[in-house]
Amino acid sequence: MDSNHLNGGVDANGMDDINRPLLEPLDVRAADKRIRTLKFKIGEIHCASCSTTIESVVGSLNGVKSVTVSPIHGQAAIDYIPELINGSKIKEAIEDAGFPVDEFPEQDIAVCRLRIKGMMCTSCSESVESALRMVDGVKNAVVGLALEEAKVHFDPNITDTGSIMKAIEDAGFGSELISSGNDVNKVHLKLEGVNSPEDMTIIQSSLESVEGVNNVEVDVLEKKVTITYDADLTGPRSLIHCIEEAGSNPKSYQASLYVPPRRREAEQQLETQMYRNQFFLSCLFSVPVFLFSMVLPMLSPYGDWLMYKIHNMLTVGMLLRWILCTPVQFIIGRRFYVGSYHALRRRSANMDVLVALGTNVAYFYSVYIAMKALALDNFEGEDFFETSSMLISFILLGKYLEVLARGKTSDALAKLTDLTPETAYLLSLDADGNAISEMEISTQLIQRNDILKIVPGAKVPVDGIVISGQSHVNESMITGEARPISKRLGDKVIGGTMNENGCLQVKATHVGSETALSQIVQLVEAAQLSRAPVQKLADQISKFFVPAVVIAAFLTWLGWFILGEFGLYPISWTPKGMDRFELALQFGISVLVVACPCALGLATPTAVMVATGKGATQGVLIKGGNALEKAHKVKTVVFDKTGTLTVGKPTVVSAVLFSNYSMEEFCTAATAAEANSEHPIAKSIVEHAKRFLNKFGSTEHVVEAKDFEVHTGAGVSGRVGDKMVLVGNKRLMREYNVQVGPEVEKFVSENEKLARTCVLVSIDGKVAGSFAVTDPVKPEAACVISYLHSMGISSIMVTGDNWATAAAIAGEVGIDEVFAETDPMGKADRIKELQMKGLTVTMVGDGINDSPALAAADVGMAIGAGTDVAIEAADIVLMKSNLEDVVTAIDLSRKTMSRIWLNYVWALGYNILGMPVAAGILFPFTGIRLPPWLAGACMAASSVSVVCSSLLLQSYKKPLHFQNIKST
């Protein structure tokens, strides 16, 4: 018998876990609540006077509002103001009074997400991270360059979001709060009938008095209110009703739903528009500069006009180029100065430093040439004004194209977010369950336990359970499952899926941010924010990249200048209108601007963003860059049996008696013993026994077993009436010294060879009979195992079932190595043994009792359906119960890692090749040199090429389609 059966695990499709969300929300208290409650135990309280002493000691502390100490339970409950005192000081005061503190809760940890503005490359994200980690109270901070977001874990007793945002701004970057940990359920309302601050105060106090409301934020000017609430206790419609009731004659208030614009999309559009406008504005000045410098001098009579001398050697063309270049350098190019200032102030360097340095050298050298031409009547020199202006124009064009491309990396996530319908039909039912009214409402107004009507062709608005009707629902947009799933009474439906042919009445169980769709989006966003280990390469390189480029540029200028001064290359090499110093300077500037740290920083995060988003649309949820990177190294996949390789819905195929008990007595005893178990095998036995009893007219009530006990890895036992009943495998029989005769042995061995599990039933120390249970193998299992072998990956099965059954199923699907009769901890031990051999191991389990093994594996894959996913222990969650996705997850990981390395080749290879060319290595042999403006264009192109390379992952297709193979 599989060990799932033996630990009383909950059935994956059971009703008990219907209220369990896909992702467990982090239990954090709102950082802006003024009073907090701290509960813990105190030792050595012997009488009431001890508790009185503690109460007086703690009560005298500044910031403590109330203290209650129970002398019987030794438990303390303390209300305090976190701005004045924290939990650790309260603990110290109690211990100083001579009482040990037990079971003291860990510090409150709140989480906030922030939008970071102004990051250009990896060194910028590292600077933000280090600035955040320096803030007192911040426990962890992760900054995503491609997402331009930060996720910060902090102690709200010590710091708050305002201090965190100030630290980011002090580091030279813009910041904006996206969400904080208390934003689990939040609604925005627009108010009408509010004419004064007093009206807002009335509404605020009315809302704060509602049970379940955590926080109320009012905007007096905009007449808006934002409410954070507990979905179990209240909801948006109740809050709107509360506002309307707060009004009294002659004043009346109305509230309506207000949906704030999507910040990310709006900001991406603004950023794209900004770069586009700056590029066009820059072109307005730099194109004439280019024409006056490169084109018109070759065309008569324009060239003659440009060469007209205003004073001494200062020409009209030089003056015009100076005038037109100056706004590009100092107004349009101001962003590079600001970025450089903040970078250098942080003692780091980024792309802004390179651009500012290169353009300033070109500009101020040109100004020097112009001033010298103005002062001397026999001076001949060439200015570089076109270098400065065109360089800035090309870099702005590159940033514009990069922002456009980066916006597309989160397309998959945006499509998921848009799946939820805007409206839903709310039903009111009478006592008999008949619909008495129907109303169309916004999806955001749905509350838990609402009854919703879903017509054919409509999308399911929230997660719920079917209470009436039957239909087929297409869940492909969330789980990737192509075939519509049959739904009838008691089945779960997932928000965002499409109802196909029948009308359903659904009771809402998860709303707002608790729905499976919201949880998937949150999970993918978290994965996109995480940093893959391969990113460390870029981080290490970026630390010395810019200083190395500056040194290389200086050495390039110095080398060419010295060679020129000593006449080590012929004068014919110097281009017309340029002296040797200027040639050396151009080489130096080209080296400065050709190198691009941005491309290196974008190589990993953009690929991870596209891959995790694409995986989510395929029903494969990857929990971060770490899981994505590890999965490509996998050489061994360990499968659980029940619910993973098999369908997970076992059925009894035969029941045999080995005693004088009647079949009715046998079935009654087995039903009573197994009734308390939720495992599929136990359920199949109970279902079979009840069906038999009903068939033969037995209406006898099932007796409840007393002294019920689960025997891990063996079975269950209990007392039914005056009889001791054991239900389990041979090991359980041996433990209770129950003799298993040759007749029973023969029955067991014959069935085990047929891949059936034999469940023995003993009554009062004798084997009364046995059930033969079969759990069909999933049709795609053999195909998946074969495909894994073709990928060079070995497959192993670990199960709690007996050796014979396990071997039979392994033979059927093509698995070579089997570990049977293994309990949950034993599975984890087997994985550790494989890891000690140097193998990278993936564990694939149904997530019920496989958590230890999933956690122990290098990559844990939880296989399950919809909201029943055991997500905590797994690194990768396969949303549908389909083994094909094991192949998909590993293959997607391999494709992504190869794409990341290709991105590194693009980025590093470009810099390795570009810098020598810019330094003039080809010039002596071919006459080819890279002018600074062209070097700037190449730098801009490198970032765009890396992002576009990552975007090619959008075309990823699953390598294995069992349905297609089956049909061919």
pLDDT tens per residue across span 31-79: 334 577 777 778 777 776 777 888 888 888 888 888 888 776 677 888 8
Q: Which residues contact 604 (CB under 8 A, 6 or more apart)?
A: 531, 532, 534, 535, 538, 625, 900, 903
Which CATH number is 469's domain given? 2.70.150.10
Whether residue 787 is found in the same domain as residue 767: no
Cα separation, 77 vs 39, in Å, equals 5
Name which of 897, 954, 830 is nearest 627 in CA terms. 897
CA distance 680 to 13: 10
CA distance 784 to 795: 10
Q: What is the widest separation between alpha-carbon atoms in the chain?
A: 127
Rg over alpha carbons for the chain, rounded to the nearest Å, is 36
CA pair distance 809, 827, nearest whole angstrom: 18
757 and 669 in a common domain: yes
Per-residue pLDDT of 274-325, as tens digits, reads: 889 999 999 999 999 988 887 888 777 777 788 888 888 888 989 999 999 9
**CB neighbours of residue 878 within 10 Å:** 28
Q: What type of residue is 445?
A: L
Mean pLDDT on 935-960: 85
Examine residue 31 and state whether it is found in any structural domain, yes or no: no
- Asked if residue 813 and residue 787 are part of one domain, the reply reads yes
Within-domain flag for 423:
no
Asked, for residue 16, whether it belongs to a domain, the answer is: no
> Could you tell me if residue 563 is inside a domain?
yes
Confidence of residue 448 (pLDDT cuts 50, 70, 90): confident
Residues 97, 115, single domain; the answer is no
Q: Is the pLDDT of residue 967 over 70?
A: no
Per-residue pLDDT at 502 exceeds 80: yes
Structural domain includes residue 378: yes
- Supply the range of the domain harboring residue 43: 36-102
* Contact call for residues 76 and 40 (beta carbons, < 8 A): yes
What is the reported pLDDT for 722? 83
Instruction: DSSP letter for 436, please.
Output: E
From the list 721, 803, 732, the residue with the least C-alpha distance to 761 is 732
- In tens, the pLDDT along 795-819 reads 999 887 778 778 888 888 898 888 8
233 and 350 assigned to the same domain:
no
pLDDT at 893: 93
DSSP state letters, 77-104: EEEE-TTT--HHHHHHHHHHTT--EESP
Alpha helices in 307-384 (DSSP H): 316-327, 334-345, 351-375
Question: Where residue 835 sits, what CATH number does that domain have?
Answer: 3.40.50.1000
* Residue 674 and residue 806 in one domain: no
Bridge partners of residue 421, in order along the sequence: none
Q: Specify the pLDDT at position 479.
A: 63
Separation of alpha carbons 93 and 59, rounded Å: 10
The torsion angle over the Cα atoms of residues 362, 363, 364 and 365, rounded to 10 degrees, is 40
- Output the domain CATH number for residue 734: 3.40.1110.10
Q: 3-state DSSP: the chain helix, strand, coil percent, rounded to 5? A: 50, 20, 30
Q: What are 159-205's pLDDT values in tens digits?
A: 888 889 989 988 888 888 877 765 557 788 888 888 788 888 888 88
Domain boundary residue, one of 511, 546, 579: 511
| CA separation for the pair 498, 571 (Å, rounded) | 76
Q: In what order do the strands lie in the sheet with 224-229?
A: 213-219, 224-229, 186-192, 254-257
Residues 281 and 382 in one domain: yes
Distances from the Cα of 26 to the Cα of 23, 108, 109, 180, 862, angstroms: 9, 11, 9, 11, 20
> What token pair was written down for 491?
């089945």
CB atoms within 10 A of CB 754: 12
Provide the residue count of the chain: 968
CA distance 833 to 815: 18
- In the chain, the amino acid numbered 392 is I
- Does residue 28 lie within any of the structural domains? no
Determine contact, residues 329/363, Cβ cutoff 8 Å. yes
**Residue 153 sits in the same domain as residue 279:** no
The total domain count for the chain is: 8
Q: DSSP letter at 293?
A: I
Report helix angle 663-674 to 680-695, nearest 10: 140
Distance CA 87, CA 105 (A): 9
pLDDT at residue 326, as a whole number: 95
Percentage of residues in the chain with pLDDT exceeding 70? Answer: 89
Q: Which amino acid is at 713?
A: G
Element (H or E) spanning 203, and its range? helix 197-208
- Asked if 506 and 392 sit in the same domain, the reply is no
φ, ψ of residue 574 in degrees (nearest 5): -75, 125
User: Domain boundary at 359, 383, 415, which?
Assistant: 415
What count of other Cβ atoms lies within 10 Å of the Cβ of residue 249?
A: 5
The answer to whether 715 and 5 are in contact (CB under 8 A) is: yes
Residues 603 and 627 in one domain: no
Q: What is the pLDDT of residues 824-838, one digit of tens each?
A: 788 888 888 998 888
pLDDT recorded at residue 847:
60
Element (H, E) at 908: helix 884-918
What pLDDT does residue 412 have?
67
Which of the residue ranges 191-200, 297-306, 722-731, 747-756 would you say has the lowest mean pLDDT?
297-306
User: Of 874, 890, 906, which residue is a domain's last?
Assistant: 890
Residues 6+ apart with CB under 8 A from 587: 556, 557, 560, 918, 919, 920, 923, 929
Picking from 500, 525, 543, 563, the residue whose alpha carbon sits closest to that of residue 178 is: 525
In 3D space, the residue among 65, 51, 66, 59 whose CA is nearest the CA of residue 99 turns out to be 51
Strand, coil or helix: 154: strand
Q: Provide mean pLDDT across the span 85-102.
A: 81
- The answer to whether 283 and 386 are in contact (CB under 8 A) is no
Query: Is the model's pLDDT at 86 over the cut of 80?
Result: no
Burial per residue of 338-365, b for 16 or more beta-carbon CB atoms within 10 angstroms, e otherwise = ebbebbeebebbbbbbbbbbbbbbbbeb
- Cα–Cα distance list, 752 to 615, 748, 758 (Å): 39, 6, 7
Same domain, 303 and 391: yes
Of 457, 390, 386, whose CA–CA distance to 425 is shortest?
Answer: 457
Q: Judge whether 962 lies within some domain.
A: no
Q: Determine the Cα–Cα distance for residues 817 and 802; give it in Å rounded to an integer.
A: 14
Q: Are residues 123 and 172 in the same domain?
A: yes
Q: Which helix (H) or strand (E) holds 768?
A: strand 766-774
Q: Tell me the CATH number at 79.
A: 3.30.70.100
| H-helix or E-strand spanning residue 794 | strand 794-798
| Six token digits for residue 582 | 């200027």
- Is 614 a domain residue? no
